[in-house]
Amino acid sequence: MKSNSYDAALESQVAAVRGFSRFYTRKLGIIEPKLLHSPFTLQEARIIYELAHREHCIATDLVRDLDLDAGFVSRTLAALQRRQIVTRKPSKADKRVNEVALTAKGRATAADLDSRSRDEVAALLMQIDSSHRAAVVHAMSTIEQALEPTMQKPTGFLLRSHRVGDMGWVVSRQGQAYAAEYGWDISYEALVAEICAQFLRSFDPVREHCWIAEVDGEPVGSIFLVNGGDGIAKLRLLLVEEKARGLGVGRALVEQCIRTAREKGYKKMTLWTQSILVAARGIYARAGFQRVKEEKHHSFGADLVGETWELKL
């Protein structure tokens, strides 16, 4: 019994795609226990490839970008480390997070796998008449673009003050982003909603501010400057959408928050973050914040290490 009801046209298309998938994986030898007659599985080879093409990398980058299970990535990296293919060492930004890199043996392995792959594909294409090769490659490009359209990175952004409707966006995007990237449950969204509601209820424009980062009129980031009392400013709810990362949005938001806090006469700025938020912590460290406290806790459905950071203004 079918779990879904398809019309005849879609049923035929589904069968065609599944058939092509079986043909393609067999043709490229992907279903073999080891890839390209090498000592490595497809997943191991893919991780080696990613490491060979990244200047800096941590395990969570591989989990996110390859859409793999975190436990599987961890076990694979451990196996590759035992085989002296990869090395793991504490990150300069956070000594408790390990950066992963290829060893000299690993780089040689990556080069060998790359050569094997090129030779395999070249042999496959040489079986095709030269007049048909371009059509085959074009068809593959069409499939790739149709299933995963290329997302162009925007070239610029602007920061503006919050306005009606922005708090709803902040609550929604914070909840969705942390659920997708870290598996946090809905209690985090509830916390963000409480923070935003309190900000609106007691908003003091002389001492507080919220900035929204925009690209082509679309919100892609946010940050809050909140009065913590006794001359202390709080930095809260920094967020940068994945599609806008790499533009410097996070750095600009934090710098704007610090600059405004100084202008408003605050003496110190504090923030609370989590040890797993490596990118954000890197921004804070580069802006001059120092970690002054850390504490293990269970929140948002996860075991976390909360951190308090401070910056003298």
Cβ atoms of residues 86 and 98 within 8 Å? no
Quick check: is 90 in a domain? yes
Per-residue confidence (pLDDT) for residue 94, from 0 to 100: 67
Quick check: is 152 in a domain? no
Quick check: is 303 in a domain? yes
Cβ atoms of residues 208 and 191 within 8 Å? no
CATH number, domain at 141? 1.10.10.10
Quick check: is 26 in a domain? no
Main-chain dihedrals φ then ψ at residue 87, nearest 5 degrees: -130, 150
Running along the chain, 313 residues long, what does each successive block of 10 average in pLDDT? 63 80 70 66 84 78 81 88 88 73 87 81 81 78 74 72 95 94 93 97 95 91 96 96 85 94 96 91 91 95 94 95
Range of the domain at 88: 32-147
Within 10 A of 231 (CB to CB), how many other CB atoms are there? 11
Between the CA atoms of 225, 227, 230 and 235, what dihedral angle is there, to the nearest 10 degrees? Answer: -30
Cβ atoms of residues 157 and 249 within 8 Å? yes
Quick check: is 13 in a domain? no
SS3 call for 157: coil
Considering the domain architecture, whether residues 178 and 300 belong to the same structural domain is answered as yes
Main-chain dihedrals φ then ψ at residue 35, nearest 5 degrees: -85, 130
Radius of gyration of the chain (CA): 24
**CA atoms of 220 and 212, how far apart (whole Å):** 7
Quick check: is 21 in a domain? no
Threshold 0.85, pTM exceeds: no
Considering the domain architecture, whether residues 162 and 132 belong to the same structural domain is answered as no
Q: Packing angle between helix 59-66 and helix 42-52, nearest 10 degrees?
A: 120
Quick check: is 47 in a domain? yes
Helices (H), the chain: 8-27, 42-52, 59-66, 70-82, 104-126, 130-147, 166-182, 186-201, 249-263, 278-286
- Overall size of the chain counted in residues: 313
Per-residue confidence (pLDDT) for residue 2, from 0 to 100: 47
Between the CA atoms of 17, 22, 27 and 32, what dihedral angle is there, to the nearest 10 degrees? Answer: 150
Give the end-to-end CA distance of the chain in Å, rounded to a whole number: 67
**CA atoms of 22 and 20, how far apart (whole Å):** 5
Considering the domain architecture, whether residues 143 and 163 belong to the same structural domain is answered as no
Q: Pick from 106, 121, 147: which residue ends a domain?
A: 147
Main-chain dihedrals φ then ψ at residue 100, nearest 5 degrees: -110, 135
Question: Which of 246-251's residues contact partners 24+ apart within 8 Å by CB, and which partners?
Answer: 246/153, 247/153, 247/154, 247/156, 247/157, 247/215, 249/157, 249/213, 249/220, 249/221, 250/221, 250/279, 250/280, 250/283, 251/283, 251/286, 251/287
Per-residue confidence (pLDDT) for residue 154, from 0 to 100: 54
Per-residue confidence (pLDDT) for residue 207, from 0 to 100: 95
Q: Pick from 114, 147, 180: which residue ends a domain?
A: 147
Quick check: is 153 in a domain? no
Q: Percent helix, strand and coil across the chain, each rounded to 5?
A: 50, 25, 25
Considering the domain architecture, whether residues 142 and 162 belong to the same structural domain is answered as no
Per-residue confidence (pLDDT) for residue 225, from 0 to 100: 97
Per-residue confidence (pLDDT) for residue 152, from 0 to 100: 56
Per-residue confidence (pLDDT) for residue 1, from 0 to 100: 40
Number of domains in the chain: 2
